[in-house]
Amino acid sequence: MDDNKKIPLAIPHMSGNEEIYIERAFKQNWIAPLGPNVDLFENRLGMYNQAHVAATSSGTAAIHLALTLLGVTEGDYVICSTFTFVASINPALYLGAHPIFIDSEAETMNMSPEALELALQDCQRKGIQPKAIILVHLYGHSAKMDEIMALANYYQVPIIEDAAESLGSEYKGQKLGTLGEIGIFSFNGNKIITTSGGGALVSKNKNYVEKAKFLASQSKENAPYYLHQEVGYNYRLSNVLAGIGIAQLEVLEERIQKKRLIFEHYQQAFENFPQIEMKQEPQNTRSNYWLSIMLLNHGKSPQYIIEQLNEQGIEARRLWNPMHCQPLFQNAPIYTESTENIAEKLFNTGICLPSGTNMSEEELAYIEKQISKIIEK
């Protein structure tokens, strides 16, 4: 290995065709938001997911729109996965809503159906009707959809699937993001495919998507002059960035294959380490393995291993620090399925390993060698 070379966690991986679509936008002078690239990107993403699509300026914006579509306003309650990135929850705060956090379960790392049921029962007892469930699929792995959707149906609370990290992943053959009422994706720089910055709102329900496009363009009414009846946002994806997205979508399946190979490589390398569990996709699902997750059952702390790896030029990161542990949400309730908090345990034992699809075999072998050395030291 080159001594100066750093291996990043995951960086954008262009296909080579991005510039063709960007150039097309320049040739047509279609640099503004919206335009033919946005239409094509939405069509392709829609076909891929078998759903309607509104391309947005970010995944966060898409969540804000989704909550708005479901009528979330000041003082409402929104049930949320605690184990996630803060972007999943911030839009609830923009609207003045109160998050109610649900712990993870160990198999998928995502929302525990048992803890969700406890929360829903408790809400019912208190006469609270939550307006939405923000359900996150982390690291490409699907949550337990059958169980969670049955509860959501019974208690009549619509699901927003935050599939920002899980584009292309499947639950029982269906694409994540399309099982709930509304789904969202992110195309930020570190995601499996990127537009440098961008997102999408998806739904089987065309009305939601039409309304999202309206809200995302300042809620401009169809009139021969500027006419506005409700609050709007400037949340649409630019036509230039959509060009990157079209070319990235063309290689999505290739990227998923490579992510899956990276995971298998790690899994084989650490097979004989009793301290290490490589987090596999749950049963009946297909994960895009956005990031390969390593859990340490005993021994060294994640922070220590990450620091040691850094010294060897390898970037690794902690898992998400749960939302109920953040000062920002110190007053929000948290429901767990047992006395142990699973999300906290994951945060305290997990490491995100480098998972860039442009990594070489040699780099992977180098990472594995360094991890083995640190663990055995």
Ligand X SMILES: *Cc1c(COP(=O)(O)O)cnc(C)c1O
Which residues of this protein are in contact with ligand X, per CB under 6 A?
58-60, 84-85, 87-88, 136, 162, 164-165, 186, 188, 199
Q: Which is nearer to ligand X, 198 or 313 (CB)?
A: 198
- What's the min distance (Å) between Cβ of 164 and ligand X? 3
With CA atoms as reference, report the closest residue to 137 among 208, 197, 185, 189: 185
Q: Name the residue with the smallest CB distance to ligand X.
A: 59
Decide if 326 contacts 344 (C-beta within 8 A): no
Q: How far is the CB of 377 from ligand X (least distance, A)?
A: 32
Give the nearer residue to ligand X in terms of CB position, either 143 or 276.
143
- Pick between residue 179 and residue 269 the one whose CB is nearest to ligand X: 179
Q: What are phi and psi of 131, to 5 degrees?
A: -85, -25
Give the residue with the Cβ less far from ligand X, 196 or 218: 196
Identify the residue whose tokens are 């936008």.
25
C-beta of 91 vs 130, nearer to ligand X:
91
Minimum distance between the CB of residue 142 and ligand X, rounded to whole angstroms?
13
Calculate the dihedral angle through the C-alpha atoms of 308, 309, 313, 316, rounding to the nearest 10 degrees.
-130
Query: What is the smallest separation between the CB atom of 305 and ligand X, expressed in angstroms?
Result: 22
Q: Three-state secondary structure along 206-236?
A: HHHHHHHHHHCECCECCCCCCCECCCCCECE
Q: How far is the CB of 2 from ligand X (least distance, A)?
A: 31
Q: Minimum CB separation from ligand X for residue 136, in Å? A: 5
CB 355 within 8 A of CB 259: yes
Cβ closest to ligand X, residue 84 vs residue 355: 84
